[in-house]
Amino acid sequence: MIQRTSYFRTAAGFEVIEHARNRLAIVLVAVFVPVWITLITVMMPERPLPFRYRATDEVLQLNGMHLTLISGGLNAVTLIVGFLMFSVTYRSGPFDRRLVAAGYPRRHLLAAKMSALMLSSVLISVYAAGVIWLYWKPEQWWLLALSLFTSALTYGGIGIVLGVVLRGELEGMFTIIMISIIDVGLESPVVNGSASGDLVHFLPMYGSMQGGVAAGFTSGFPTRQLLLAPAWWLGCALIGLVAFHLRTRVHTRRARPLPVRGTEQVLAQRPGPGESVHVCVKMCDETCTAGDHMPLYQGLAVLAALSAEQAAGNAEQNVYPLGRRTSAM
């Protein structure tokens, strides 16, 4: 149990580092969201617009500017979280493959990515809902934040899938932008006069848009509509799980087991929970080295990280794993 926690903690640390290095996403959160919301309040008229609220199956006449605040907030959150998760997943692909090849469990890497998605979605959604609250007081602010969270979660899952499946960074960015624009355009009556059509049920942002309208103009809770957002996220998570498994496969044949001679036992291929490694790094020449004794899961991560840096041409060190030792950790 302790070892599993250590695996997850190490993988989660790598995810936090990758998110912190994505300065463009941080700038988008800090600047794009308030600027976008401000432009909506300044430029959008307040004339009434019809919107079909599915929880009661009635057409509501809503303030156009307030309705655009909801759709604009959803658009901003989905673009930022989708871009963030795609970028992190795409850039960490080679590193994840090295970790898996070195013996790191896939489930802990995936759990760390999902945890990072949850945390970033919560922070960005609450921040966007707070910016909207500065200009307009909806009936249920917490439901607005929940609707933004569900849309962020959905597009974060889409970003993870695209980061694993697509081969280029530009195509992934373009795909996320186009999906979000089409989704918001078909959902909002500001752009689409027939936004009440039945086809909007199949859009990723359908449940979030219905929840946002309920939060802004009613005292109800559209349970059935909001449950569609987790369905989209689970579908994306399943696709991402399969794609991640295929992309991190080790395409090598397993060596045949050595024969057992007498009472000698062959070392197990998988390390035990109490084993550790000693890693030695060449600093300048063969006589100038630095070494450290560390837990096995941490040693595997260090070896993969240094190998990735060396393959990218960012490091001159050579790594020498000097063997495996058993210790009471």
Look at residue 327 in the predicted model and tell me its pLDDT.
47
Sign of the torsion angle spanned by Cα atoms 139, 220, 142, 113? negative
The predicted model scores a pTM of: 0.73
Report yes or no: 13 and 20 within 8 Å, Cβ to Cβ.
Answer: no
| DSSP assignment letter at 327 | -
The percent of residues above 90 in pLDDT, for the chain, comes to 16
Please return the burial class of 103, using the count of CB atoms within 10 Å of its CB with bins 0-12, 13-18 and 19+. middle
d(CA 49, CA 51): 7
* Least confidently predicted of 72-76, 121-125, 182-186, 248-252: 248-252
The percent of residues in the chain predicted with pLDDT above 70, rounded, is: 72
pLDDT tens-place string over residues 238-258: 887 888 887 777 655 544 444
What are 167-180's pLDDT values in tens digits? 777 888 888 888 88
Q: What type of residue is 64? A: G
Q: What is the pLDDT of residues 58-88, one digit of tens each?
A: 888 888 899 999 989 999 999 999 988 888 8
Does pLDDT of 267 surpass 50?
A: no
**How far apart (Å, rounded) are the C-alpha atoms in residues 303 and 198?**
53
pLDDT at 135 over 50: yes
Domain regions of the chain by residue span: 2-247, 275-326
| Residue owning tokens 């919560």 | 122
Work out the average pLDDT over 87-112: 82
Give the end-to-end CA distance of the chain in Å, rounded to a whole number: 13
Mean pLDDT taken over the chain: 77
Is the pLDDT confidence value at 324 over 80? no
